[in-house]
Every structure is written in structure tokens, then in C-alpha cells.
A and B are shown apart, each in its own frame.
Chain A
Amino acid sequence: MEKLHFEYQNSTPVKKFAHVGVVASGDLEILVYPADGEKTTLDITTGSDGFEKVWQNVLDRFFARYPLNGKFIVHDFGATPGVVNLRLTQAMEALKDEK
């Protein structure tokens, strides 16, 4: 298990809480809250060690398209980059949902 921390300067504020995914084998859960300060923060707990660079790439690409400014907590149980990207996109969709 490894803990990773990333920060971004993003422009689109997250206004509510959203949650997607399950900490199942090959999957992850993402918790998104409104940002604490100006920065977007990601705190990732992952069961697969040594993939910091891969996370960086997936996140860079995602935030370049969708600059969400929020606080992210991620619990990852060995999700592939494709699954990570899918869950991030789902989280974004959940944030858009009007309820």
C-alpha cells in the first residue's frame, strides 16, 4: 500500500459532494468534495505500489480536459488507468446531476 498526494491549479469549482466506485478488486472509489482552499488536492491510497508516474499521467490528462477544483480522496484497489479515468469521468457526471 502506498499513499500519494497531488495538487493542481484548476478553475471549475466543485460545489457539492460526489462519490463513485467500490474498493473492489481492480476498482477504486473516488470521493469529491468542494476544495478546502484554492488548490485542487488529491489524496490517494493505493494497494499497488510504484505507479506514481502513471497516476500523474492519468490525472494530468483528465484535469487538462476537465479542470475541476475540488478535494479528492481516492481508495484504489488495483484499478487500471482506464478504470481510473472512467471513474473520474463518472464522478464528474455525478457532480453535474441536479438533485
Chain B
Amino acid sequence: MKNSFVELNGRQRAFALVDENSGRELVGPEYDMISPHLEPQKIVPESDDGVILVKGTLNGKNVVVISIEGKFQGGGIGEVSGAKIVAALEEALDDNKNGKTIYPIIILDTGGVRLQEANYGLLSISEIQNSVIALKKYVPVIGLVPGRVGSFGGMSITSAVLSYLITTKKARVALNGPEVIEQEAGVREFDSSDKDLIWNTLGTRQRVKTGIADELVEDDVETIKNAISEAIDQKKDAHRTDKADFYLTLLDKIDFSKPLTTEEYRKIFNETKAEKHEIPSAVSSDTPGDKSRGRLWFEKLTGIKNAKSEYPTVLAAEVDGKEYIAIVPDKNNRFPRVRNGEVGLQEGFVISKIVNKIVEEDKDKEVKRPIILIVDVPSQAYGYKEELIGIHIGLASSAAAYAKARQAGHPVIDFIPGDAVSGGFLAHGLQSNRMIALADKSITIQAMSKASAARITQRTIAELEEATKHVPAMAYDIFNYEKLGALYKLVHDVSSWDANDDAVKEVHELIDEAIASTKDQPTDLRFRYETPIAIESGRKATIKMREMVDDQWEK
């Protein structure tokens, strides 16, 4: 008889994966470390905030199982649950660095960012990705997506940075859920009531055939344990974020103005052989590009007039020893879903190639080239074909490239004159070690549009707006964002659409200061926990959770 794994709750799952009597839970329910952000919104909390950490052995090997409870708030990642995951991964990283091998296993049953803690969710998820990428230098980081929720949103991006992904047929993996695509792009783009369409596109039976998941196993505890154990023993690694040439080749072949069935896509996927793509720098031209805050500041900071590039939505150029990268709108782009400056499939892969090349070129240099991200991204692209192909892999590729660059010692600096939203921000912005933002009312910084967030959390827009008054992480403006403590600097005397000479000079100086501030400093993301605002209020719960996990880790 089979022992279902999917039917177990998050805690039972964590203990089911470790050898009998070897499991020890860290910061368990007895500590009642609830999220401080839910009750102010009249939402019932959970004592473990939906994440269970169990240290133990699997076939005698040291493991730490991180299990996300999909039944609590859809497995959404908030400040406390996110900090719990990051803290465990960082402890595992330290152990491995010190020669004590421990294998992290992450059970993903999650909708991604917990929309009730929006900006905390995004910060936490980027921090999880940073830790996973650092850990992969030592051990494989194995992911399990058992279902029923599956792995969505920012955590699907995380799934793509994991070494190896094991699933059952009861799960789905995608960046944007069908309801959100329908809300953002219309029912003709994706009909969220068409369950067959959803499962055929996002279900893991399709996903293992198209490089999004690696192994489909029966829903049985022993089978799943064996699959994980084997993945660890054989150091399995799909290198999912190192396939930019493959995906750029594949995208060259697809006409985005025509329909594409799941069968047709599988055929294209199987026939595609990676061809090398060169990404030339942006150059000046006679024709102005489509206006955006990102383009304005890219052109002003680099001095490149009417910048154009072979991949029109990605502007990148090296000026005075600094690489500037911006994502910009292109109203005639052949990918309809990125025409307003969204981060789509091509953008993620192109950026990853640019950044990986810089890292490679500077590999033996003592001083690494700074990378300046000009952030103006209204969101990730919402589209059926984007999901079918796996837009989350594209976003993960650029996020991973930025994280690796930072970890290798490159200063990675955000300059935020525009929007910084959701998956777009995770792909282009949230892996930086310093963020400079303009104090401008036009900036939106969030995890999801109000219409979609209201639909998913089953609230009215009025209720949602009420919640933003009580919880700064729920807000959509840069002034509330500052309260989270993640910013290096909020610039009050420069506005987003007015890049005059004085303003440009000031921003240049601030960028140089930010670069200087990274010298001899840690190359991870801890700066965000150490600002005065973070310590005082912004990341209080994060810091507390990190201390508790550290106390209970047992080194």
C-alpha cells in the first residue's frame, strides 16, 4: 500500500522525509512566532507562520528540511516565514563552509509572496534565492513540489534556482497563476475557468517534458525519500539558470502573434539546439525610443542619446568602468506582453548573458566592475505563452546572474527612478546590495496590482487600501517602502521625470558613494537587516527569527 505524501500537512511532511527519530524541529509552534502583520489586517495567524524547519538525517546524511505549509494562507511567504527559511539556509551555508556537510531540502507548496505582507514577501524571496545560489557552490539544494498548491509566483523563480526539482502529478509550477493572468491580460489570454488548459500547461506532467521540473514521482513517502536521497548522492543539478543561449534560440523560433499549443511547444523544445547569442551594447541613434523613467535615466547616466539595442527592451552599456542596465518599453516589440516595459522571457535571458559575461571577464581581477541597475519595471509579463515556456526561468536567470556577480565581489547597485513591481523587481533589482530610490510619488513598489491582489486575497479594493494604512509592507509607494529598512538612500530633491544636469550629477555621486560603501563589506544581502530603520522597526521580526534559528541550530 502506498503512503501518500501529498495528504500530509507541512509538519508531517518535514518529519516524513528524515530517518525515524532523527528529526528535531527548530523554532517550533511552542514559540508561537506568529507574523506581526496579519492580525492588524484581521487575518488569523499560525504559530509557525507556515514554515516548518526540521533538522535530521536522510539515509544517515545530515539534512535540514524546510517545509512550507500550503494550507496556511496558500503557503505565501511573509516576513517571519521568509526569515525562517533564509536563516536555516544561511546556517546550512555556514556549516558547509566550515566543512560540516548538511543538505538543504525545500518542500515548495506555495503561492509565492504572501500578498498580505507584499513587500516583505519580495524581500524575503530574493534573500532565499541569494542563499540558495551561495549554497549550491557546496551542496545540491533539492526542491520538492508535491502539490496541491504547487509552486507559484516568486517561489517559482526560487524553484528555478534550485539544483533539482522533484514533483508529483498533483502539482503545478508557474510564475503567474491563471486568475492573475486573466485579471491582468484578459480572459482571451488565459481562461482561469478552463481546468484542462491549466493542468495541460502548468501541470508537472507537461513541466518535466519541457525542462521546468526534473523528475515526476508517485505520491508515496518512500518513493519521494528515495528520489531525494538519490539526487543528493548523485549531486544532481539541472543548471536551469545557465541555459540562456538555449532559450534565446528557442524564442527566435516562436511567433508570438500566433497560437501555440502545448504539443507544438514540446516539439520545438525537443528540437532546439542552443546557438550562441552575442549581446551588443546599446548605442546612440537618431530616433528616440518609447519614453519611460528607466530610459530617461539610462540615457542621462550613460550619455547615450536615443539609446537603441539589438534586444530593444534591454539597454546595457559600460561607461566609466560601470555597467548600466535598464529594461525599457518598446511598443512594437514582438513579444506583446512586454511592450510596457515588463520583464518577459527574453529580458531575463539577455540580462543573464550580459551579467555572466562581466563576471567571467573580471574573474581574475582584484577590483570587480560595478553593475548599476536602473529599475523601472511595471511587472513581469503576464501571458499564456510566457507561462508555457517558463518565464520564471528567465527571471531566475537574471536574478541568479546578479546574485552571482554580487557574491563574486561586484558592487550591484539599484537606482530606482521608476516602478519596482513583483517578478520584474525580483529579476531586475532585488539581488542588489544597495538600493537608491527617488522619493517620487509616481513610483509604485509592490508585489501585485491592486485589482489582482484584491481578487486573490478575496477582498475589495477598499479593504485592501484600508490594510495598507496598517501595514507598510502592503503599501504601493516608496515612502512606506522606506519603513522596511531595505533602502540605502531615499533621494528627496530629485524627481523621476526631471533628469536635469544637477540631478544627474547628484545621482552619479550617490551611486559612487554606494559603490564605495560595499568595499570590504559582506557580499550577501544582510545590509537590509542592518540599517537603523531595519533594526528599529522594519525588520524586527526578521532579526528576532534569525537569532532564534541561530540559537537552536546546534553547531
> In the bound complex, what is the Cα–Cα distance between A49 and B28 (angstroms)?
28
B494 to chain A, nearest CB (A): 42
Check B32–A23 contact: CB distance below 8 A.
Answer: no
**Is B10 an interface position by the 8 A CB rule?**
yes
**Is B42 an interface position by the 8 A CB rule?**
yes
Check B29–A23 contact: CB distance below 8 A.
Answer: no
**Residue on A nearest B41 in the bound complex, by CB:** A1
Check B45–A23 contact: CB distance below 8 A.
Answer: yes
**Residue on B nearest A46 in the bound complex, by CB:** B44
**Is B71 an interface position by the 8 A CB rule?**
yes
Check A75–B30 contact: CB distance below 8 A.
Answer: no
Check A31–B71 contact: CB distance below 8 A.
Answer: no
Q: Which residues of B contact A29 (CB under 8 A)?
A: 29, 46-47
**Is A25 an interface position by the 8 A CB rule?**
yes
Check B44–A22 contact: CB distance below 8 A.
Answer: no
**Is A58 an interface position by the 8 A CB rule?**
no
> In the bound complex, what is the Cα–Cα distance between A83 and B10 (angstroms)?
19
**Is A6 an interface position by the 8 A CB rule?**
no
**Is B196 an interface position by the 8 A CB rule?**
no
Check A19–B47 contact: CB distance below 8 A.
Answer: yes
Check A1–B43 contact: CB distance below 8 A.
Answer: yes
**Residue on B nearest A19 in the bound complex, by CB:** B29
**Residue on A nearest B73 in the bound complex, by CB:** A23
Residue in A22, A27, A75, A76 whose Cβ sees the most chain B Cβ within 10 Å? A22
Check A1–B39 contact: CB distance below 8 A.
Answer: yes
Q: Which residues of B contact A22 (CB under 8 A)?
A: 9-10, 46, 69, 71-72
Q: Which residues of B contact A24 (CB under 8 A)?
A: 9, 71-72
**Is A35 an interface position by the 8 A CB rule?**
no
**Is A33 an interface position by the 8 A CB rule?**
yes
Check B46–A73 contact: CB distance below 8 A.
Answer: no
> In the bound complex, what is the Cα–Cα distance between A19 and B73 (angstroms)?
19
**Is A10 an interface position by the 8 A CB rule?**
no
| Binary flags per residue of B87-115, CB closer than 8 Å to A gives 1, else 0 | 00000000000000000000000000000
Check A23–B39 contact: CB distance below 8 A.
Answer: no
**Residue on A nearest B10 in the bound complex, by CB:** A22
Q: Which residues of A contact B28 (CB under 8 A)?
A: 19
**Is A77 an interface position by the 8 A CB rule?**
yes
Pick from A17, A19, A47: contact of B43, CB below 8 A: A47
Given A1-B39, A31-B30, A73-B32, the answer on whether A47 and B71 have CB atoms closer than 8 Å is no
For chain B residues 40-68, which have a beta carbon within 8 Å of chain A? 42-47
Pick from A25, A27, A33, A76: contact of B30, CB below 8 A: A33
B251 to chain A, nearest CB (A): 40
Check A45–B39 contact: CB distance below 8 A.
Answer: yes
Q: Which residues of B contact A46 (CB under 8 A)?
A: 44
> In the bound complex, what is the Cα–Cα distance between A31 and B10 (angstroms)?
16
Q: Which residues of A contact B47 (CB under 8 A)?
A: 19, 29, 31, 73, 75
> In the bound complex, what is the Cα–Cα distance between A22 and B34 (angstroms)?
13
> In the bound complex, what is the Cα–Cα distance between A49 and B135 (angstroms)?
46
**Residue on A nearest B45 in the bound complex, by CB:** A75
> In the bound complex, what is the Cα–Cα distance between A17 and B34 (angstroms)?
17
Check B30–A23 contact: CB distance below 8 A.
Answer: no
Q: Which residues of A contact B39 (CB under 8 A)?
A: 1, 45
Check B44–A75 contact: CB distance below 8 A.
Answer: yes
| Binary flags per residue of B22-43, CB closer than 8 Å to A gives 1, else 0 | 0000001110101000010011
> In the bound complex, what is the Cα–Cα distance between A39 and B9 (angstroms)?
32
B345 to chain A, nearest CB (A): 35
A21 to chain B, nearest CB (A): 9
Q: Which residues of A contact B42 (CB under 8 A)?
A: 1
Check B32–A45 contact: CB distance below 8 A.
Answer: no
A15 to chain B, nearest CB (A): 14
> In the bound complex, what is the Cα–Cα distance between A61 and B43 (angstroms)?
28
Check B69–A19 contact: CB distance below 8 A.
Answer: no
| Binary flags per residue of A44-61, CB closer than 8 Å to B gives 1, else 0 | 011100000000000000
> In the bound complex, what is the Cα–Cα distance between A73 and B47 (angstroms)?
9
Q: Which residues of B contact A19 (CB under 8 A)?
A: 28-30, 47
**Residue on A nearest B38 in the bound complex, by CB:** A1
Residue in A24, A25, A73 whose Cβ sees the most chain B Cβ within 10 Å? A24
Check B44–A76 contact: CB distance below 8 A.
Answer: yes
Check A23–B44 contact: CB distance below 8 A.
Answer: yes
> In the bound complex, what is the Cα–Cα distance between A13 and B357 (angstroms)?
66
| Binary flags per residue of A63-99, CB closer than 8 Å to B gives 1, else 0 | 0000000000101110000000000000000000000
**Residue on A nearest B71 in the bound complex, by CB:** A24
A52 to chain B, nearest CB (A): 16
| Binary flags per residue of A8-44, CB closer than 8 Å to B gives 1, else 0 | 0000000001010011110101010100000000000
**Residue on A nearest B30 in the bound complex, by CB:** A17
Q: Which residues of A contact B46 (CB under 8 A)?
A: 22-23, 29, 75
For chain B residues 154-207, which have a beta carbon within 8 Å of chain A? none
Q: Which residues of A contact B34 (CB under 8 A)?
A: 75
List the interface of chain B (C-beta within 8 A of A): 9-10, 28-30, 32, 34, 39, 42-47, 69, 71-73
* Interface contacts beyond A23-B71, A29-B29: sample of 15 additional A-B pairs, CB < 8 Å, sorted by A: A1-B42, A19-B28, A19-B30, A22-B9, A22-B46, A22-B69, A22-B72, A23-B44, A23-B45, A24-B9, A24-B72, A45-B39, A73-B32, A75-B45, A76-B44
The 6 A-B pairs at the shortest CB distance, nearest first, are namely A24-B71, A1-B42, A23-B46, A19-B29, A17-B30, A47-B44
Write 11 A-B pairs (CB below 8 A) sorted by A numbering.
A1-B43, A1-B44, A17-B30, A23-B46, A23-B73, A24-B9, A25-B71, A27-B71, A31-B29, A45-B39, A73-B47
